[in-house]
Amino acid sequence: MVYRVAVVGGSGYTGGELLRLLAGHPSVRVVAVTSERSAGRRVEEVFPNLRGSVELLYEPLDPERIAKAADLVFLALPHKEAMDAAAAFHARGKKVVDLSADFRLRDPRVYEEWYETPHRHVDLLKQAVYGLPEIHRRAIRSAALVGNPGCYPTAALLGLLPLLKHRVADPQSLIVDAKSGVTGAGRGLALPYHFPEAHDGVAAYKVGGHRHLPEMVQEIEALTGTRVNLTFTPHLVPMDRGILATIYAALTRPCTTAELADLARETYAGEPFVQVLPPGELPNVKHLRGTNLCRIGLHAEQRTHRAIVVAAIDNLVKGAAGQAIQNMNLMLGLEETTGLLAPGFFP
Ligand SMILES: NC(=O)c1ccc[n+]([C@@H]2O[C@H](COP(=O)([O-])OP(=O)(O)OC[C@H]3O[C@@H](n4cnc5c(N)ncnc54)[C@H](OP(=O)(O)O)[C@@H]3O)[C@@H](O)[C@H]2O)c1
């Protein structure tokens, strides 16, 4: 059986990556792709890399029409724009994977605090499942609406999960220091992302107040059952894609690097998209470009009694479009890895 899917917001970076990956998926066909500003144009005009692979025209977002054509809809829209579209498709019985932040936070008050607008679909928010398969696989399989995680939280949570699950990290002591490539900011134009501004420099931003913090806290508190004390500092680095998260946590008991690696290997045994590196090895985002992988290296620092975990992903794939397809596979009852196993490109 071939399922029909639509990509809403298909002219942005994550939408383009969805189209690229779905073009090689054997069990789905993209039947509609939307853009307001590029309506009427061919996909290949907006994404020349897709010439010969995707033969579709952009159309404006019309939930009525798209719901008739598609079984499942990906929303690659900005937050605040996605929630009404999700509600419109959900009301028409369609499964939805939302790549925005609109359905990631369970508590509408937390959403309002961080996104500075009341959530307009609180009932739907309650039904949404946080789409990190390594934690919520079973719930995702039966979900009608998945809130696909942010790119920073994907790297941070996958890096932290083995330590938290085995209770070797003190949840009161967590620091996530993370670097993102420029595509993490989306395709829209803004001064900090112009070539002379972003190239050949590195800067922290949103220190103490990035919007990905509350979803990390939500998931860690659910895992540990305790309040968490987490500092998260994001950085913009001059590369196209990739997230590298360096995570620090106080150890709750003496541990060696080899023990930490064993705990991580046990946590991720059978996981198709998480690779734990041998002791002494650390990941590089460059080796993961285009893949749905998260690669993790761990170190136990004896001098400070801290664990240091380095987690790397491609922000557009495991941090967005690839993870969304992984969720789609689960929701449609397909093999979870379908369409996602091609190796990345290097260098
Ligand atoms: N970039 C990443 O690494 C990343 C990772 C994880 C999650 N996300 C999230 O995924 C979503 C998409 O991100 P992106 O980086 O792909 O963004 P983007 O490059 O800025 O693309 C945004 C898309 O939304 C459409 N759009 C914008 N405003 C709209 C409106 N009012 N009505 C209908 N369509 C509208 C745009 O179409 P037009 O052609 O009409 O402008 C475009 O297709 C965001 O919520 C983002 O936070 C991004």
Domain map of the chain by residue range? 3-127, 152-315
In the predicted model, is pLDDT for residue 153 greater than 90? yes
In the predicted model, is pLDDT for residue 155 greater than 90? yes
Confidence (pLDDT) at 206 = 97
Partners of 287 in the beta sheet? none
Confidence (pLDDT) at 61 = 98
210 lines ligand 1 (CB under 6 A): no
**DSSP β-ladder status, 129-130 and 145-147:** parallel
3-state SS, 147-208, equals: ECCCHHHHHHHHHHHHHHHCCCECCCCEEEEEEECHHHHCCCCCHHHCHHHHCCCCEECCCC
In the predicted model, is pLDDT for residue 346 greater than 90? no
Cα 38 to averaged position of ligand 1 atoms, centre (Å) = 13
38 lines ligand 1 (CB under 6 A): yes
Tell me the whole-structure pTM to 2 decimals: 0.98
Confidence (pLDDT) at 345 = 86
CATH of 152-315, one of 3.30.110.40, 3.30.70.60, 3.30.360.10, 3.40.50.261: 3.30.360.10
Res. 126 pLDDT band, cuts 50 70 90 = very high
Average confidence (pLDDT) over 18-44? 98
Cα 37 to averaged position of ligand 1 atoms, centre (Å) = 12
Instruction: At 191, give phi and psi (nearest 5°).
Output: -55, -45
In the predicted model, is pLDDT for residue 96 greater than 90? yes
Q: Is 250 helix (H, G, I), strand (E, B) or coil?
A: strand
Catalytic entry in 5, 151, 308, 331: 151
CA distance 36 to 9: 8
Average confidence (pLDDT) over 68-95? 98
Provide the percentage of residues in the chain whose pLDDT is more than 90. 99
In the predicted model, is pLDDT for residue 22 greater than 90? yes
Kind and range of the H or E run holding 326 = helix 322-331
CA distance 70 to 335: 20
Closest C-alpha residue for ligand 1 atom 12: 76
On average, the pLDDT of the chain sits at 98
Cβ contact 251:305 at 8 Å: yes
Q: Tell me the residue ranges of DSSP E strands in the chain.
A: 3-8, 28-34, 58-59, 72-75, 95-98, 129-130, 145-147, 174-180, 203-204, 230-236, 243-250, 274-276, 294-301, 306-313
Give the tens place of pLDDT for each residue, 135-148. 999 999 999 999 99
37 lines ligand 1 (CB under 6 A): yes
Average confidence (pLDDT) over 235-263? 98
User: CB atoms < 10 A from the CB of 265, how many?
Assistant: 17
Give the tens place of pLDDT for each residue, 270-288. 999 999 999 999 999 999 9
Closest C-alpha residue for ligand 1 atom 20: 186
Give the tens place of pLDDT for each residue, 173-200. 999 999 999 999 999 999 999 999 999 9
In the predicted model, is pLDDT for residue 70 greater than 90? yes
Res. 347 pLDDT band, cuts 50 70 90 = confident
Does domain 3-127 fall under CATH 3.40.50.720? My reply is: yes
Provide the percentage of residues in the chain whose pLDDT is more than 70. 100
Whether residue 294 lies in the annotated active site: no
Longest Cα–Cα distance in the chain: 62
Confidence (pLDDT) at 52 = 97
Confidence (pLDDT) at 129 = 98
289 lines ligand 1 (CB under 6 A): no
